[in-house]
Structure 1
Amino acid sequence: MPLTLVATMMVRDEIDIVPAMIEHHLDQGVDLVIVTDNASVDGTTDVLRSYVETGRVELHHDPVHRKQQGVVVTQMARRARTAHAADWVLNLDADEFQVPVDRTLTLRGALEATPLHLNAFTVPVTNLVGPAAWSGSGIGRLAWRDHRTEAQLQQIGIHAQPTPNGMHRGETDVTVAQGNHFVSLPSNGQPAPEVATEVLHLPWRSWAQLEQKVINAGRSYESNPDLRPSPRHHGMLDYRRHQAGQLFEAYLARTPLRTELERGEADGSFVRDDWLAEHLRGLVGRALRPDLLGPVVDPAQDRPVPDDEHADGAERGRDLLAAEEA
């Protein structure tokens, strides 16, 4: 009997990337994506309704903005088991693409070869980065794996590389922690290296996307005093930069210049990886909704920041970030 694979996603204002995330995981063998829309206002809700019509997306709505991701994802993860008999559950964000390390496999193939008795395991997350843009999904532009050291990241206002995601077998009483990094089920080990998976993450796709994401997150934390993020929590640091009128310069500082990417390729801090862009563009012809996926992967929809403007803003940003540490 084939495994049932269910992904969950809580989303708010991610129209630039949502079709790609859904199409990718369905193409990789996920049976159903359970989505909770957190009162999006940018058209994301309409996109999700279009996918509901395909029968491969189940849509729920939660209009509350109190940074309640852990509670909502837990509900979806439990429903994946109780309503859909999920064997494996992938709890993902809209900007995350889980894929086997061995690209000759599909996600379904890798998970079919992963024993269910492992119960739960972690999946490494790698950021894909590239030059800055005013708007656009970044598919194709964000084509470098970010291997900068913690010290290098802290110089540009980032605390560390992303924490691995936690995925788990379907269980009726599972609890998923805020951020999808930890689950309540005990782990009995990791998958064999030949069927390991990873998550490709596109966190800083454009200035328009980052600004809206930071405002949404900051106001949601303000609305929920029961949550107490670390003073160095990346979302709250960015929100304070936004309030101080310094977020744009911080965005340019953390987004590598083309010259930095060239140097990074030489020393290993950036590794070119075009797989995701090529994969997503290749999906358009067989997508459930090519009319929605096509524009997301079209490089013409990107509005890059000119190199000289990027360089000037990044220099100001590094000065501002250094002052934060002083």
Structure 2
Amino acid sequence: MRLVMTMMVRDEADVIEAMVEHHFAQGVDTMLITDNGSIDGTTEILERLASAHDVVLMHDPVHAKQQSSCVTRMANEAYTEHGADWVINADADEFWVPRAHDSIHAAFETYPREFGAFEVHVEDMTGLPAARGTGLERLIYRDLRSTAMLRGVGLRDHSAADAVHIGASGVVVAQGNHAVSIPSCGTPSAAESIEVLHFPWRSWDQFRRKVENAGKAYESSPDLVPSPNHHGMRDYRLLKEGRLLASYLLRSLTPAQLDAGIADGLYVEETRIRAEKLPQQADDELEYDASEMVDLLRGLAATQGERLAATAADADQRFADAKAYIEGAGREWQAEREALHERADRLAQRVEQLSDELVATRAALEGLRGRRSVRIVDAVNRVATRRRA
């Protein structure tokens, strides 16, 4: 069984080496990686890794959010040129791990090809903030906060599931790697499944660069317009407004928040990646003006409150609309029910009338039979009398 991973990367020097080493240790046979014009040293790291592992390094310097077309091309090549039985389309901040098997390769060996494609759960990792650094020894907590809690700190929701698929020609991978054109005809059991440990904001330096790169790429792609609530574009607006650092601090944890969240079961320790002792950049402490951040955080909190209020108002309106629809449908149903009852009453009266008519018709027929029999007997008697005479 050949397991091939594809990846499109840009400016991921803090994490790319750890990510590649982790997945080869997990049994990935080949990695197809397209470097999207990195300028932070990512390209040089990948060139070095390609000399030590089965890494096929390609280059696409255009910054136009063309992930779907690029990954689709690699996903097809994974099958046509590298004989992939299964294909994982990953991001640089994702670490794929098995739930019970010794490796993801061992897990995929148990999956029948008839599955076609299936979703893989993505678990966001969180922890304390930092100015710089990969953070694999710092971000060691599964983020189990509710959607409402996340929205309170400016996050729309947890990350969406990723999609894996069998090797096949003609497959199309959607933007973000969350869906593919191959239909899903099965999924592994919980015990046999795999999952993704996701490290989306590892430091302030990485987060700011990621937001800026994504925002500028969308700006240069007028035909690829994200929704108004797309997290990348919201963050990009905050960057241009000078409020992104406050947003980064708001979504990270303070020591007190971490302790309280652990006690409440909101943050659960997950140390498998840390235990691998993967190569990474050391953390630098984040320094900032606390008084200035307080004002920015209050502003962000107010903004989030307004957004949540608008969301609540929209939910109330949707509920009112649904209630009105249901009530209207109920009135229509009642009217139709009454009409059906009236029709049933008329039908019952008609059946009774027809029954009476049937009884009368039968009596008339019986009377006719009796009179006809009498007439026949009289005629026979008359004939017999004439013959005797």
- Both proteins in one fold, TM over 0.5: yes
Residue type at the aligned position of 1:305 = L
Q: 2:145 pairs with 134, 145, 148, which one?
A: 148
Q: 1:227 to 1:325 in 2, by over 3 A?
A: farther
Q: Is residue 250–residue 321 contact of structure 1 (8 Å, CA) maintained in 2? A: no
Q: CA separation in 2, counterparts of 1:126 and 1:310?
A: 30
What is the aligned partner in structure 1 of residue 29 from structure 2?
A: 31
Q: CA separation in 2, counterparts of 1:268 and 1:29?
A: 32
Deviating above 3 A after TM superposition, structure 1's stretches of 4 or more consecutive aligned residues are 308-316
Residues 1:317 and 2:297 aligned together: yes
What is the aligned partner in structure 1 of residue 57 from structure 2?
A: 59
Q: CA separation in 2, counterparts of 1:240 and 1:270?
A: 29
Residues 1:276 and 2:277 aligned together: no
Q: 1:302 pairs with 253, 276, 283, which one?
A: 283
Matched ranges for 1:115-126 at <5 A: 115-126=112-123
**Partner secondary structure for residue 194 of structure 1:** coil
Q: CA separation in 2, counterparts of 1:7 and 1:321?
A: 40
Q: 1:92 to 1:315 in 2, by over 3 A?
A: farther
Q: CA separation in 2, counterparts of 1:222 and 1:109?
A: 42
Q: 1:224 to 1:261 in 2, by over 3 A?
A: same
Cα distance, 1:115 vs. partner?
1.0
User: What RMSD over aligned residues (CA atoms) do the two structures have, in Å?
Assistant: 1.6
Matched ranges for 1:63-212 at <5 A: 63-102=61-100, 104-212=101-209
Q: 1:229 pairs with 226, 240, 257, which one?
A: 226
Higher helix share: 2
Percent of pairs with identical residues = 45
Q: Is residue 252–residue 310 contact of structure 1 (8 Å, CA) maintained in 2? A: no
What is the aligned partner in structure 1 of residue 313 from structure 2?
A: none
Matched ranges for 1:238-249 at <5 A: 238-249=235-246
**Partner secondary structure for residue 205 of structure 1:** coil
Q: Is residue 81–residue 170 contact of structure 1 (8 Å, CA) maintained in 2? A: yes
Q: CA separation in 2, counterparts of 1:112 and 1:48?
A: 28
Question: Normalized against structure 2, the TM-score is what?
Answer: 0.76
**Partner secondary structure for residue 191 of structure 2:** helix
Residue type at the aligned position of 1:205 = R
Q: 1:314 to 1:105 in 2, by over 3 A?
A: farther
Unaligned runs of 5+ in 2: 307-389
Matched ranges for 1:260-275 at <5 A: 260-275=257-272
Unaligned runs of 5+ in 1: 285-292
**Partner secondary structure for residue 33 of structure 1:** strand
Would you say how many aligned residue pairs link Structure 1 and Structure 2? 306
Residue type at the aligned position of 2:47 = R
CA offsets, 1:101-156, max 9 Å, x none?
12x52111100011111010000001111111000000110011001111111111
Q: Is residue 157–residue 250 contact of structure 1 (8 Å, CA) maintained in 2? A: yes
Question: Normalized against structure 1, the TM-score is what?
Answer: 0.90
Q: 1:220 to 1:100 in 2, by over 3 A?
A: same
Q: Is residue 8–residue 33 contact of structure 1 (8 Å, CA) maintained in 2? A: yes
